[in-house]
Each structure stands twice: as C-alpha cells, then as structure tokens.
Structure 1
Amino acid sequence: MTAPFTIGFLGAGQATQAIHLPALAAMPDLWRVGAVMDVNAETARIVADRCGARGVTDAMAVIEDPAIDVVAINSPHVFHAEQLIAAAHAGKRAALVEKPLAVNREQAEQVAAIAAGTGMKILVGTMHWYDPGFRAGLAAWEAAGATATRIRSAIFVPPNAQFVGAATEEAFPSPPPPAPPAEQPPEFQRERLRQTILGLAVHHIPLVRRFLREPGIVVEARRHPPFGYSLLIRAGDQVAELLAVMPGQWPPSWTFEASGPDRRLHVDFGPSYIAGASGRALLSDANGDRGFAFGENGYAAQWRHLHDALTNDTPLDMPVEQAIEDLAYALDLADAAADVMEIVA
C-alpha cells in the first residue's frame, strides 16, 4: 500500500474549509494536507492547524516545497493559470483546480502545453460531472441509445454562508460582495451577466455539452439581478435551457434534466458546501423508473479519481483538453448571451 499523497492548498476560503478539507479528512489513507496558503496569515494558520499542516502566506512556498505532491488551487480565478504553470514547472505530480481552469483561451492553452510537457495531471473541480449518481444515470441513458431533445439546468442558491456555516466554523468569513451601483449602464449589465454565467453555468457545462450534438446558438438571454440569468440555446432540433438565481431566501436546488420523446433523466444534486451523499438520478421510460444514488458525492469522487490516476497512471476521466473545450464553450456562451440580453431599464 502506498503512503498518502501530500497536498498543498492555495487559498483557504470557503471551498477549502467547507468542501475539500472535510472530504479529505474521510480519506486519511489516501491523502494528507501538508500546507495551507492564504494571503491572510491568521486564516492560513487557523485552517492549517485544523489539519495538522503548516500555514503560509506565499503561494510559491507551497509550490516549490518538494514535500508537496499535489496542489489544490482554490485561489481567485485570475491566479489559476499562473499557479498551474508554476506547479508544473516545480515538478508537481498533479493539481486539482477549482472552476474555471483559466479566464481565457490563451491561458488555458498555455496550461495545456506545460502540462503536456511535464506530465502533471490536472483535474478541474467540476464536482457534478464526477457525481456518482449522475454518472450512473448517464450510463443508463446512453446504454439505451437515447437522444435528448430538451436539456435543462436550473440552479437556485441561497446565501453561501448558510451552508458554509453548517459544514464548518469558517475562519474569517468572506465579506459580502459590494452592492451594484444604483444606475446600471448596459455594459455593466452585460459584464455582470458574463461573470455570473462563468461563475454558475460552468458547473453544468460538461453535462450540457454531453447531451448537445452541436454547440447551438443563444436565442434568448435575460439577466436576473443581483446574480442570475436565463438562457435559451437552440441546436438543430435540440433546446437547452440554463437558469440560475442567487442569492435568495429559498431552499438550495441544483438540478439537471435531459428528456426525449420516450425517456427522461432527472438529477437532483445536493447543496454546495455540504459533504453528503451523491446526487439522486431518476431515469424514467416506458419500463418505469430507475433510481441511482450513492453514499459519496462528487467532491469525494473527484479526489478518489485523482488518487487512482496517480497510483495506477490511469487517464483522467476529463482530460485537460476537454476541460479547455468546456471553458471555451462557457466563454462563447457568456459573450453570446451578453450580445442578445435584454437590458433592464
């Protein structure tokens, strides 16, 4: 049996504290945390102390540490690509990077090139793609040779602090986002829509693309303040609806659905920031209903998958090339939506 791989975290915010560290704590035979970096020294110290690691404020102190096998990049989006590239140059065996992989195509291609040259494995944290319930439902759908004519992703998110607080006592909670200006000119509204799509729709882009036969075109886009959107995409005889609204006083709901003339796949994912069971997938057709659910969610599944890839040198289920295609699709989707959106007076 191999010794646990050692992880260094870059960024000690909500995702690290409430999602990744609880998932890893359940796998002490696979992983150990060696370092936690955050620009806030007290946050780094408190979070590192919880898992027996050392806290630092310099990302390169983690990246260049030869004792760190894998970096977990939970820093702000603008740093993802440069930290991935630095980790590859430093000889890290793998990196798990939160969404998005990069903020533009050029950065993503640079990451792909350096990863190919060094052999560093990169897993993008699209937890719903790795969710065991969804994957079992997807396999049953594809085994039946079904084709979807309608695809729907719907995300309703209450304030994150509600569930972060349920998962952990957060060290130095993040301040609320600044309020939007009273008057919102068209370009502000378009940019807010772009950023919201890249922040939320990116969770389900791999799922949507699995069912769409072609990219399609955005025929309708609306922004739902303060952070939300509704998009309608047409691709031949297929229609995809993407809806998201946050934050609000409602129960959390992350659902994905694909349906055709004689078959429907519906998936209910659990709330973010909670280490629970997998999503609940239900496949309905003329033969009745079949349900799929498992004891671990996508957060745990992606860490187990990365460990298997490192231990057995198996290929990642989502290679970096596919992750780049997903990012490019999300960027194109955000730009197209901004071009056709209805401006709120």
Structure 2
Amino acid sequence: MALKVGLLGAGAVAQAIHLPTLARLADRVRVTEMMDVDLALAAAVAAPLGARASGSVPELLAGDGVDIAVICSPDRFHAEHIEACCVAGVRGILAEKPLATSRAEAERVRSAVTASGVALVLGAMHTFDPAWLAASAAFTDRGPFHVRSAIYLPANAHFEDMATTMVRPAPTPPRPPSAAEALRGGVLGLAVHDLPLVRRFLPRFDRVDVAARLDPWGYVITAAGPDGTVELLARTGGTWQPDWTLTVWGLDAELEAAFPPSYVHAGSAVAALREPRHRTTWGPYPTDGYLAEWQELLAVLGGAPPRYPLGVLLEDLDYAFTLSELAVGALTRAVDAA
C-alpha cells in the first residue's frame, strides 16, 4: 500500500523538485495533502494530484493522516514544522535545508526527533549523489587539501520551468537584505548544499580571510583550518552556461564533481578522480540526488540504518553556522576598515 505524503509549502521546491520525484515512485508513495499559507496556491497545486489542500500545518496534520511529511516551507519555519510533525506522529520527514536557522532551533529539532523516533532525511541532494559517493569513497589522499565550490547559475525560475508547469503566486516585493544578511543567506541557502562534502576534508574552520557578496546575487568566501583551505564562489541571476563544480586537491590526487543545477532531473553528477598515473570517472547515472534522498527515506522507514544519522546532520548544520558567523565577521571588518 502506498505511503501517504503531505507537503508543507507548495512553492517551487515542492512543485519542481519533490512532485516530479514522487511521480517516479508512484508505486510506493501518494501525495494526499498539500499545505500553503496561500490557500489558492495550495489548491491549484493539489487539484491535479487529487490531494486535499489546506492553509495551515495543524489543518494538514488533522486530516486523514500522513505517513511522510515534506518540509518545503520558508527556512525560518523548518524547526517549528519539524516539531509539529514529530508531535503529530508522522513516520518519516524529508526536510529541506537548513534544518534550523539557529543553534537554539537545532536543539529543538534534536529533542523532537529523538523523542518521536521519526525517520528524518535532509533534502541535501549532493550528499546522496551516486557519482559523488563512489568517487569520494575512492579518494584516499591524506591532504592537506584545497577545496573549491564554484556555482554559476541562471535564475532558479529558468530550471523550475524546465522541471514542471509551475503555478506561481502573485509576486510580492522583497525586502532588500543587508550585506551581512545576504552573505549569511548565501551560506545557509546555497553553500549549504556542498558544505557537508567540504566538511569531510576540512572538519574545522579557524578563520575566514575573504568574505564578500556579489551582484546580482552571490558571494566569495575563502576560509582555512588545520587540514587546508576552501574557496566558496557563487553567482546567480545571469544567462551564462550553468556550472556547479566541487573540486578537491590533495597532496597527490584531485577529485572533481560536476553537479546538475538545482531543479534539474537529469541524472547524477559526473565525477572524476585524477591520480599521477590514472584517471577514473563515475556517472552520469540515471539516479539523481533527489531520487536517492527519497529512496533513502523509504529504506530507513523499512528498517535500514540512515546514511546520515541525526547527530551528523546537526554537526553539518553547526559547521554551516560557524562558517556564516566567521564570514559575516570578516565582511564587517572589511567594511569597517574601508
């Protein structure tokens, strides 16, 4: 019998990432609930699925019951919505990044998930990408390391429309963020995709040397720790060819993964390991990170141990918090010195 799925948030992540992925698993899952504070949006997205639309989390959770909740709401609500789903007794949660926006919220998530025993998977598609997993497992260089995450993408809408026929709410004028808010948002909203991968090679940051925001939207951050250095580069909003690459240089070997852009369901990354006398490649494979993260949740619900236990997910989140704090500090010092 198919598991019942409820989505908290009916925006682009729900429509262009999770619904196309769930359609590939239609023999195992069925969307029965769609929630958004914009009830008209929820209803428009729910109608083709035969799902019930609601305008609040309590209303969704008070329905016929869902087995799996998908947290697609704005970041600031993630911890609150995870808690509510745990209390309601759902069996599984797939939560979008970040799990929380502060360390206090992260502790609330820890308590709620631990007390309920819910199966929790973080929607961090690169951490489940089969080409990355195979290549990184074969990378045995001991370092020191230099890591570069380079992300150059057109606006998200370009890829959302490729993934599905989007239903969009009426636009509302955004509040321009401060430079510090934009930089923190860049770390917790975009760099966070690759930071768990970076943490394997650089478990700790001691300092951020350069931190700046880029227009129309992006950042450049360089940081260092006992095991090496990292460059985080991102720029979005242009019309250039998309490029999302993570490269790790060790003492004798180089590891590189070229990932598809967000919202693109086109298979895995292509990963390459270059050693002094040998080059090995992996991918692209038919399974992308979006499908793999759902397969992971279904496996955990079936009794398999999680690839990334809650403690690891919260350590990854704390790593992102630390980087964002150091980056904002470096930005503030640069502004004060100017």
Per the TM superposition, whether the score is higher than 0.5 is yes
Partner of 2:113: 115
> Which one of the candidate residues 284, 287, 303 is aligned to 1:296?
287
Distance 1:69 1:250 in 2: 41
Q: Is the 8 A contact 2:205 2:226 kept in 1?
A: no
> Which one of the candidate residues 43, 46, 68 is aligned to 1:45?
43
Partner of 2:161: 165
Distance 1:59 1:110 in 2: 18
Distance 2:221 2:129 in 1: 24
TM-score (norm. length: structure 1): 0.92
Partner of 2:249: 259
Q: Is the 8 A contact 2:266 2:288 kept in 1?
A: yes
Q: Is the 8 A contact 1:37 1:55 kept in 2?
A: yes
> Which one of the candidate residues 197, 210, 219 is aligned to 1:229?
219
Residues 1:25 and 2:16 aligned together: no
Q: Is the 8 A contact 1:146 1:263 kept in 2?
A: no
> Which one of the candidate residues 189, 194, 201 is aligned to 2:184?
194
Q: Is the 8 A contact 2:78 2:95 kept in 1?
A: yes
Instruction: Deviation per CA, 1:4-33: give whole Å up to 9, x if none.
Output: 211100001001101110011011122111
Partner of 1:185: none
Distance 1:257 1:45 in 2: 43
Structure 1 residue ranges without an equivalent (≥5): 182-187
TM-score (norm. length: structure 2): 0.94
Q: Deviation of residue 59 (structure 1)? A: 1.4
Partner of 2:238: 248
Residues 1:138 and 2:136 aligned together: yes
Structure 2 residue ranges without an equivalent (≥5): none
* Greater alpha carbon shift after TM alignment, 296-305 vs 321-330: 321-330
Identity level (%):
39
Partner of 1:147: 143
Distance 1:328 1:177 in 2: 31
Q: Deviation of residue 177 (structure 1)? A: 6.0
Q: Deviation of residue 343 (structure 1)? A: 3.3
Instruction: Deviation per CA, 1:174-219: give whole Å up to 9, x if none.
Output: 73763748xxxxxx22222112221111111101101114333212
Q: Is the 8 A contact 1:266 1:282 kept in 2?
A: yes
Distance 2:263 2:186 in 1: 19
Instruction: Deviation per CA, 1:152-176: give whole Å up to 9, x if none.
Output: 1111121111111111111125737
Q: Deviation of residue 148 (structure 1)? A: 4.9
CA-based RMSD of the aligned residues comes to 1.8
In structure 2, relative to structure 1, the CA distance for the partners of 1:289 and 1:268 (3 Å cut) is: same
> Which one of the candidate residues 244, 264, 271 is aligned to 2:261?
271
Distance 2:70 2:257 in 1: 28
Distance 1:229 1:287 in 2: 36
Q: Is the 8 A contact 2:141 2:252 kept in 1?
A: no
Q: Deviation of residue 146 (structure 1)? A: 4.1
* Greater alpha carbon shift after TM alignment, 42-51 vs 113-122: 42-51
SS in 1 for 2:299: helix
